[in-house]
Amino acid sequence: MVRSKGFLCAHWSRRWGKTYADLSVDRQKGTDKVAIALIKQETTPGMRVKPIEPEKYYNEARINDGDRVVFRIEDGCVWFVDIVEHDDIDRYGKKIEGLF
């Protein structure tokens, strides 16, 4: 079987690394599934990718009821920014300099 879409390259921010390290093993597994799906340009059940308001510079992908992956796709790469709880997603409503 031939893939119709190629894989995207991936970059992770320093903030992502710190947040990811603090997650439980179960939460890391859920995050891994979403990250791999984004790299492969696929979806997972319940992922629900959407832009973060108001500037729509970053996107969010749902991991579970409470956690979200904050990312951006640009120039054939996924830029993984952070993993946040749903209630904290609004801090990514605008572009933040110096994340990478």
Q: What are phi and psi of 15, to 5 degrees?
A: -60, -40
pTM, to two decimals: 0.91
Q: How many angstroms separate the first and last alpha carbons of the chain?
A: 36
Per-residue confidence band for 5, with pLDDT thresholds at 50, 70 and 90: confident
The CATH number linked to 39 is 3.30.2310.20
Q: What is the pLDDT of residue 57?
A: 96
Q: Residue 35 sits in which domain range?
A: 9-92
d(CA 59, CA 6): 20
Closest CA to 80 of 3, 18, 6, 5: 18
Q: Is position 31 within any domain?
A: yes
Contacts of 46 (CB under 8 A, 6+ apart): 62
The answer to whether the Cα torsion of 94, 56, 40, 28 is positive or negative is: positive
Q: Is position 2 within any domain?
A: no
